[in-house]
Chains A and B, each alone.
Chain A
Amino acid sequence: MFSEIRIIAPLLAAGCIATAATAQQPGTAAATVVAVPPLSTPEDKQTSAGGTLSIAWQASQLIAQDLRTTSETMPLPPAQKDYYSYPEVTAPTFSKWRSAGSKVLVTGFVQARSDGRVTFGCYVYDVDKGREVLRKGFVVAPEEWQRAAHKCSGLAYTAVTGAPGAFDSRIVYVAESGAGTFRTARVAIMDADGTNHRYLTTGDTMVLTPRLSPKALRVAYVRYEGGRPSVRIMDVNSGNARPIVPSDAVTFAPRFSPDGTKILFSMMLGPNSDVYVVGANGGAPQRLTTSPGVETDASYSPDGSKIVFESDRSGSQQLYIMSADGTNVRRLSFGGAAYASPEWSPDGEWIAFTKRVPGGRQVGIIKPDGTGERMLTRGPGDEGPAWAASSREVVFQRSDAIGNSSIFRVSLDGSEPRNVALPQGGSDPDWSGVMD
């Protein structure tokens, strides 16, 4: 149960956000300082997840922790001695935050409701201008306070960057453990901050390339059935899974459409791999490419009108863009190397890819019009970028010389890739959109 509500005053129109935000472009070195004083509560009441004052304090810390994970925001974390009164939530003393060096201020409250749930209010202010830029309220079960705090972090991130915050989202990947013959591969899922980690498959059969639906409710992945790889779709909550096409053909490389209703995938027909699309709830697959050779790794543009994919029809792997019905194919990459595994960013501005250069694989980005190509990593064992909901960061797989893999994230601003902490090795990461 997670519902968004309007609090105290109506939400500002989206148009107001951009003007009020301290707009920051990727590549800017300095992070915006965001003050996160302790969240307040009108009255400290017990809930099933502890007192509201205690939840408010933990939520403040989580918001600061979230904002520390991005290169665009730098939190001024809460201090327990900074008692923050309930009226101050909606009437902050801006001079205090100005002198503390912060540009953005996040305040909020946690209030117990008579139905056992809590109201979580979140406000974001432009400190220099001394005015509110965003606010949102959520009614949640007390145990779901982390998700509400992540939403609040996202609101602050949006105020700074104009982009959605990816804090309330999930990452899925292939967990690799054991060694040699006893090495196992399991589909694992976790919240974007690494919490709530769990395994979705048991490891009795090899699995590859899990991909999340936009709201992280379903995962499509490749599983070896009777010795052959085939794509299955699983409901994340129930664990129920089924094949996406009732056939013993080799199927692979699934990816959801931005609205979650369709799945692009690849299927072998003889020596040919082509791109197909099928409804996420079933139906007959439709073939989208017909060229001889290997066509795979297809990804929709955010409006669903176009598809980027890789093909070796020219003699080496290159990126191509076509209309969603398979017509109007044009080549995108001309960089004198092999390009693979493209994924279109949620804001439509970029396509992330893997480049095969002499000596290894690197992750980069290119504009859909073919300009602006830029490498984000130097390899040598990097591949499979997947976008964060913010479109300002990708997660990817990095393999070392002896084949051990782990997961990294890298921002478009040119900073160094950072390791994503996992309980064991990992490969094939995918990052969902912001959850409902």
Chain B
Amino acid sequence: MRKATLATAAAMFMASSASAQLPFLSKRTGPPPQQQQQGTLQGVEALKADFLAKTGADTIFFGLDSAQLGAPARTTLAAQAAWLRQHPEVVVRIEGHGDTGDTRDHALAMGARRAEEVRSYLVLLGVPAAQLSATTWGKERPGSPRAVTVLVR
């Protein structure tokens, strides 16, 4: 749980500089980031930086009310898949986000669909399913409809 929180915070911070993702203005967030654990953080930080450098982006964007992967998304995911195959020890969680203008529960489902589209495409590209999990934040973390690949460990 602590690792997940750290990874989420790190991902959000780095994403804001590396991609077009909105800053972390979340209306409803999880618990606040906890104190860093020496050692583990170094590893995740280094891996995270390498992941971003090699794949270009941790965030895939979608159209409104859509879970379809466009060509740019597929290019990014191909790079993510290649990196993940080279790092079989790394586990990622794909976090899907819904549209801010949507209703609560449909947004949750759309976030889950987007995360699942990304997850199954990565599996299609040869990433072992055990390295991947998917979840949804619905419209609880405002921003564009998207799915973010978050390094858990």
The residues of A with any CB-CB pair to B shorter than 8 Å are 176, 180-183, 185, 204-206, 208-209, 224, 226-229, 250, 252-253, 266, 268, 270-271, 273, 294, 296-297, 310, 312, 316-317, 340-341, 354, 356, 360-361, 383-384, 403-404, 428
CA distance A209 to B28 in the complex (A): 13
Pick the 4 closest A-B CB pairs, nearest first.
A340-B103, A273-B109, A294-B109, A253-B105
Most central of B67, B110, B113 by chain A CB within 10 Å: B113
Q: Do A250 and B112 have beta carbons less than 8 Å apart? A: yes
**Known: A208-B138, A403-B142. Contact between A268 and B109, CB under 8 A?**
yes
Q: What does the 1/0 interface line of B27-42 toward A look like (CB < 8 Å)? A: 1111111000000000
A182 cross-chain contacts in B, Cβ below 8 A: 32
> Chain A nearest CB: distance from B153 CB in Å?
13
**Known: A180-B25, A270-B116. Contact between A384 and B30, CB under 8 A?**
no
Q: Which residues 1-47 of B sit at the A interface, judged by CB distance below 8 A?
A: 1, 4, 24-33
The residues of B with any CB-CB pair to A shorter than 8 Å are 1, 4, 24-33, 65, 67, 93, 95, 101-106, 108-110, 112-113, 116-117, 120, 135-136, 138, 140, 142
Q: Do A206 and B103 have beta carbons less than 8 Å apart? A: no
Nearest A residue to B114 via CB reads: A271
Q: Do B65 and A316 have beta carbons less than 8 Å apart? A: yes
Q: Do A252 and B105 have beta carbons less than 8 Å apart? A: yes
> Chain A nearest CB: distance from B4 CB in Å?
6
Q: Do A252 and B108 have beta carbons less than 8 Å apart? A: yes
CA distance A354 to B105 in the complex (A): 12
CA distance A270 to B109 in the complex (A): 11
Q: Do B117 and A271 have beta carbons less than 8 Å apart? A: yes
Q: Do A176 and B28 have beta carbons less than 8 Å apart? A: yes
Q: Do B104 and A250 have beta carbons less than 8 Å apart? A: no
Q: Do A312 and B106 have beta carbons less than 8 Å apart? A: yes
> Chain B nearest CB: distance from A436 CB in Å?
30
